[in-house]
Amino acid sequence: EAGVVQSPRYKIIEKKQPVAFWCNPISGHNTLYWYLQNLGQGPELLIRYENEEAVDDSQLPKDRFSAERLKGVDSTLKIQPAELGDSAVYLCASSLGVWGTLPDNEQFFGPGTRLTVL
Amino acid sequence: GQQLNQSPQSMFIQEGEDVSMNCTSSSIFNTWLWYKQDPGEGPVLLIALYKAGELTSNGRLTAQFGITRKDSFLNISASIPSDVGIYFCAGTTAGGTSYGKLTFGQGTILTVHP
């Protein structure tokens, strides 16, 4: 069974340019997460979707970041315009749900997109 | 920002040695998780803990959920070269839209010399 798929794996852009990341979760997983991982740090949640609804976006910088999960499957995270400080790895994860204990709420992570803003 | 303090930040050990790392928090968590991240990959779950005082093993890995619910430790016995990577602790809290939200520590970088 395929894991969480993310693309692109690497992206280099100049500041003020827009950028988008795509995530395809594990089939059947209702919950999708976007995380930001700065160098030398653990991941930090940006947004969580349950199906197509964003249920926790409190950490998403809404002035420049946006996300969508149309039809409750694939998701796209966008930054417009990108700033130098946005250079990081953007991780996508999915789980069957969030309630209860494993295995229902285990989060499976994709390999991430490494963004470099010049 | 992150609330978990993980130590040590890095470790350099010889193959065969045991490893211990821990994680402390200023807040109570109802679940503690330990992940391993290899270069260019996302974190992979190693062990999950759900009850205060719980001690759980997974092969050569053993983790404990602290009695105060504010700490956890991970031990790796008889380390091997493939144990190299970054180990993260993570905790979750209950309630509202934050249910199941993972808060990660800053990671422990483990290097194993053959």
Sign of CA dihedral A108, B106, A100, B95: negative
Q: How far apart, in whole angstroms, are the C-alpha atoms of residue B15 and residue B12?
A: 10
Omega prior to A111 cis, within 30 of 0: no
Chain B contact set for A45 (CB, 8 A): 101-102
Tell me the pLDDT tens digit for each residue of A81-91. Answer: 999 999 999 99
Which residues, other chains included, contact A53 with Cβ-Cβ below 8 Å and sequence gap of 6+? none
pLDDT at residue B99 tops 70 = no
Tell me the pLDDT tens digit for each residue of B9-32. Answer: 999 999 999 999 999 999 898 889
Q: How far apart, in whole angstroms, are the C-alpha atoms of residue B38 and residue A112?
A: 12
Tell me the pLDDT tens digit for each residue of B25-63. Answer: 998 988 899 999 999 999 999 999 989 999 999 999 999
A25 in contact with B at a CB cutoff of 8 Å?
no
DSSP conformation class of A13: E
pLDDT of residue B94: 64
pLDDT at residue A102 tops 90 = no
pLDDT at residue A99 tops 80 = no
Q: Do A112 and B41 touch (CB under 8 A)?
A: yes
B88 in contact with A at a CB cutoff of 8 Å?
yes
A54 in contact with B at a CB cutoff of 8 Å?
no
Q: Do A55 and B97 touch (CB under 8 A)?
A: yes
Residue type, A24: N
Tell me the pLDDT tens digit for each residue of A25-43. Answer: 999 999 999 999 999 999 9
